[in-house]
Amino acid sequence: PGENETRVDLEELKTSVLYSGPVDPAEWVGLRKSYPLLVYLRNNLLMLAILAFEVTIYRHQEYYRCRNNLTAPVTKTIFHDITRAHLDDGVINCVKYFINYFFYKFGLETCFLLSVNVIGQRMDFYAMIHAFWLIAVLYRRRRKAIAEIWPKYCCFLSCIITFQYFLCIGIPPAPYYPWRSGNANFNSNIIKWLYFPDFIVRPNPVFLVYDFMLLLCASLQRQTFEDENKAAVRIMAGDNVEICMNLDAASFSQHNPVPDFIHCR
């Protein structure tokens, strides 16, 4: 570009993808010559091997149950003989119970922690959107109310991660973006904060990993909310209903059916 076509400094312009070296447009669609080819495809082959291994296990389990007239377990857990009644029987049973149902009991809190992690790691415009959603979810307070809005939250996470993925890809390396023109009052810091596609300050794709982990846990929590409405799951794992609105330590043992090890004196 000419001197009046952009407000980018010359030193900053040299780091642009368009001017740092020769540009191959085929790389934008994922075509890149690599040697040896096996090294380039090893991650794809590894994923195919893992998927084939997973399908083999599920097929073998289904065939074994059909041959021996067995029914599938209600919950997909490791220790099928551990229920909520075994939680206070000892440390070993307690560890087994939380291996089975840790996310069932503390999945919502885990999602909140991951949301805070996304906000702290990103510190950009989308982090502010995540903060607004976190405030909206916490404002519901009660678990049933949060469960009603949770599908919308999962839809938001899936849509925003897809949108950001396309932002990371950007357009083919040919023209400049409008926010890099001479009439636009944008600098590199604003573009980075807004997570705009750019040839000089490219969006950080690592942020999508944090968003993906949050989406994964939020999807598991949505399944947890559905399992809470199943009687068979509640018998095995216990219910997640609030004991009382005022968690007063003095009267807490009156509502809690579990033995009180703190205020038992």
pTM over 0.75: yes
User: Hunting for tokens 């049973």 — which residue is that?
Assistant: 93
Do 107 and 215 lie in a common domain? yes
Q: Please choose, from the candidates 72, 79, 74, the residue with its C-alpha nearest in 3D space to the C-alpha of residue 97.
A: 79
The string of pLDDT tens digits covering residues 18-27 is 777 777 777 7
In sequence order, which residues have a C-beta less than 8 Å from that of residue 1 and are 6 or more positions away?
Answer: 176
Do 128 and 171 lie in a common domain? yes
Quote the pLDDT of residue 229: 86
pLDDT per 10-residue tile (average), the chain, 265 residues: 56 70 76 80 93 94 89 80 82 89 90 94 93 92 89 95 91 76 76 86 91 95 90 83 62 61 60
Domain count for the chain, please give it: 2
**Cβ 111 vs Cβ 218: under 8 Å:** yes
Instruction: Determine the structural domain holding residue 91 and report its residue range.
Output: 79-241
78 burial via Cβ count (<10 Å: 0-12, 13-18, 19+): exposed
User: Hunting for tokens 């009382």 — which residue is that?
Assistant: 244
Do 172 and 46 lie in a common domain? no
Report the interhelical angle of 207-227 vs 91-122 (nearest 10°).
140
Quote the pLDDT of residue 24: 76
Any domain includes 103: yes
